[in-house]
């Protein structure tokens, strides 16, 4: 191992040890740290505040100024609390998480897997989506989370370690096609966060999303149709602070039988409903409509 590799390994182990120690702190203390972070992010630094206000105002044109700012403030409150929960999940027991996360209509996935079909589970950055890392503890089949590797080797290794703690398999986005089409193992579930701005904008996958013309990833649907997979949407809502419900909603039982764009349109509709139910829970800090017809 050369000096550069040694330094990277040291950085990774030090970062993991530090975060693990912090995760052992009581949840009330971690939430308190989250509240301090909220104050700094919202009132002092103003982290992407203009982006958040603009996104929410455009998404809900019927809401008044005060209503928009109420959503903005609650978004930052929840956003910083999510980080506290993610840190706690580094060391918290599965039994504790099992009391905080409710899976509804899980039998839908069981049914598709039992029939020998892969399941593509699409979702958005709603609520604390990182809690989905707990899914393998509840289900008896392979679950893959499709992700884009981070540039930082240290951060990438940390992300993989944290997300795979309960059995989640991390699958780089460039390897997902080969994995799902190879059929080298039994049917599995593949998680896709498909609500970010796609690098390639296709007119066929341009939809109205939150009152704005929006380009949507086409890869999820194309892969589903090619692999003849079933497709579901994971609807995430917050029952109370630190407690979540994840509901499995059907999109199609076999993607190859759908029309082009039909799956993505249903995904956009279900995501819109999810956001409208809890408008403060979506990740408003990202520039979702950058380069879109609405920008």
Segment 248-266 shows an average pLDDT of 96
172 pLDDT higher than 60: yes
Residue 295 lies in a domain: no
By mean pLDDT, which of 10-14, 100-104, 197-201, 265-269 is the weakest?
197-201
Residue 292 lies in a domain: no
- State both tokens at 11: 């950085």
Handedness of CA 18, 27, 128, 74 (dihedral sign): negative
* pLDDT in the model for residue 182: 83
What does the pLDDT look like over 132-167, one tens digit per residue? 999 999 998 999 999 999 999 999 999 999 999 999
294 pLDDT higher than 60: no
What's the pTM value of the predicted model, to 2 decimals? 0.94
What does the pLDDT look like over 209-234, one tens digit per residue? 999 999 999 999 999 999 999 999 99
Could you list the residue range(s) of the whole structural domain that residue 165 is in? Answer: 3-277
Rounded to whole angstroms, the Cα distance separating 176 from 201 reads: 20
Strands 169-172 and 206-209: unpaired
Strands 243-252 and 230-240: antiparallel
What does the pLDDT look like over 178-209, one tens digit per residue? 988 887 778 999 999 999 889 888 999 999 99
Rounded to whole angstroms, the Cα distance separating 217 from 115 reads: 27
Nearest Cα residue to 121 out of 290, 295, 255? 255
* pLDDT in the model for residue 287: 86
Our count of domains for the chain comes to 1
Rounded to whole angstroms, the Cα distance separating 196 from 219 reads: 12
- State both tokens at 248: 């499995």
Q: Say whether 252 sits in a helix, a strand or coil.
A: strand
- State both tokens at 284: 């408003």
Residue 289 lies in a domain: no
Q: Say whether 213 sits in a helix, a strand or coil.
A: strand
β-pair partners for 238 = 244
Residue 291 lies in a domain: no
């Amino acid at each position: 191992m050369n000096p550069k590799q040694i330094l990277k390994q040291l950085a990774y182990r030090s970062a993991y040890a530090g975060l693990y120690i912090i995760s052992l702190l009581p949840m009330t203390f971690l939430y308190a740290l989250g509240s301090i972070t909220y104050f700094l992010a919202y009132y002092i630094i103003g982290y992407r505040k203009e982006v958040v206000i603009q996104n929410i105002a455009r998404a809900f044109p019927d809401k008044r100024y005060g209503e928009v700012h109420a959503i903005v403030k609650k978004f930052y409150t929840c956003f910083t609390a999510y980080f506290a929960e993610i840190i706690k999940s580094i060391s918290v027991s599965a039994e504790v998480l099992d009391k905080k996360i409710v899976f509804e209509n899980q039998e839908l996935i069981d049914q598709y897997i039992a029939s020998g079909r892969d399941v593509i589970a699409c979702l958005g950055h709603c609520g604390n989506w990182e809690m989905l890392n707990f899914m393998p503890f509840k289900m008896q089949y392979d679950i893959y989370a499709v992700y884009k590797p981070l540039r930082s080797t240290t951060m990438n290794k940390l992300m993989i370690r944290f997300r795979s703690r309960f059995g989640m398999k991390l699958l780089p986005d460039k390897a997902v096609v080969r994995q799902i089409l190879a059929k080298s193992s039994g049917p599995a579930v593949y998680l896709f966060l498909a609500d970010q701005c796609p690098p390639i904008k296709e007119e066929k996958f341009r939809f109205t999303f939150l009152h704005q013309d929006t380009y949507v990833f086409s890869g999820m649907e194309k892969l589903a149709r090619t692999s003849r997979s079933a497709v579901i949407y994971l609807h995430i809502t917050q029952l109370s602070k630190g407690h979540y419900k994840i509901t499995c909603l059907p999109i199609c039982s076999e993607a190859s039988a759908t029309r082009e764009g039909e799956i993505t349109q249903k995904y956009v509709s279900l995501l819109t409903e999810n956001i409208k139910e809890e408008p403060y829970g979506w990740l408003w800090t990202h520039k979702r409509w950058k380069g879109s017809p609405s920008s």
